[in-house]
Amino acid sequence: MKILVCISHVPDTTSKINFTEGDSKFDTNGVQFVINPNDEFGLTRAMWLKEKQGANVTVVNVGGAETEPTLRKALAIGADGAIRINTAATDGFSVAKQIAHVAKDGGYDLIIAGRESIDYNGGMVPGMIAALISANFVNNCINLEIDGNNATAIREIDGGKETISTSLPLVIGGQKGLVEESELRIPNMRGIMMARQKPLNILDPIDANNETTSVKFEKPAPKGAVKLVSEDNLDHLISLLHNEAKVI
């Protein structure tokens, strides 16, 4: 079984975010980048399938050379090979087209992507890939089992969970639950050394026009001042909630 895992190169959530050029460009200075958390859950599940069923795992990313450390980390975790499509990831549809082209040529049985990336939160790429390659698709996937050419997946739905039986080729949009946080893997020294010997192929992008552009970014409003009310003064608290906060 051949598995393709989509990897996004995203800012660490602890990074201080700033913008330049009139708030139209993201300022990467001083920002630590990591594997997108939803993608890391998917990569860890792919490693499980590799160990249990002998699957071959390739990771793919759309981005410039600055994303290669993230791909090398995925290789150190255990992926067999990596592909970097050499173009900026600025639009969900164009990213999906680039990955779909690789998926078609590679003959992959299973494509694992994160449900969404934590930077743009578009949540569109996995479904678009599935449509472009005419594969089955399960989003919000929290469990996946493969038996030959058949797959059983569990996904989150409003108010509960749904179990789905389908067949390969399959695209999933994974999230926490596909594996638990405690199962995520930290590269060890042996993995880091082996990653240097694994192939990282750089591909030219296909023609894929961006359908959207980011015009301007805006930070959330800063938190307002906090008023502390003595536990002995409930009448004052009720007055503030009623007259100022207007929540009662």
pLDDT tens digits for range 53-109: 999 999 999 999 999 999 999 999 999 999 999 999 989 999 999 999 999 989 999
Measured from the Cβ of residue 62, the count of other Cβ atoms closer than 10 Å reads 29
* Residue 65 contacts residue 9 (beta carbons within 8 Å): no
Whether 28 is covered by a domain: the verdict is: yes
Whether 125 is covered by a domain: the verdict is: yes
Name residue, tokens 């930077």: 119
Q: What is the largest CA-CA distance in the chain?
A: 70
Q: Which segments of the chain does DSSP mark as H helices, in order? A: 37-53, 68-77, 92-106, 125-133, 189-195, 234-243
Whether 135 is covered by a domain: the verdict is: yes
Whether 244 is covered by a domain: the verdict is: no
pLDDT at 221: 84
Query: For residue 29, what is the domain's CATH number?
Result: 3.40.50.620
Whether 10 is covered by a domain: the verdict is: yes
Q: Is the pTM of this model over 0.75?
A: yes
Q: How far, CA to CA in Å, does 175 sit from each of 76, 117, 180?
A: 21, 10, 9
Measured from the Cβ of residue 152, the count of other Cβ atoms closer than 10 Å reads 14
* Residue 169 contacts residue 135 (beta carbons within 8 Å): yes
Q: Please choose, from the candidates 9, 80, 85, the residue with its C-alpha nearest in 3D space to the C-alpha of residue 40.
A: 9
Average of per-residue pLDDT across 30-34: 92
Average of per-residue pLDDT across 118-126: 91
Name residue, tokens 């995520």: 184
Whether 231 is covered by a domain: the verdict is: no
Residue-number span of the structural domain to which 204 is assigned = 2-220
The number of distinct structural domains making up the chain is: 1
pLDDT digits (tens, 9 = 90+) for 160-191: 999 999 999 999 999 999 999 999 999 999 99
| Rg of the chain over all Cα atoms, to the nearest angstrom | 21
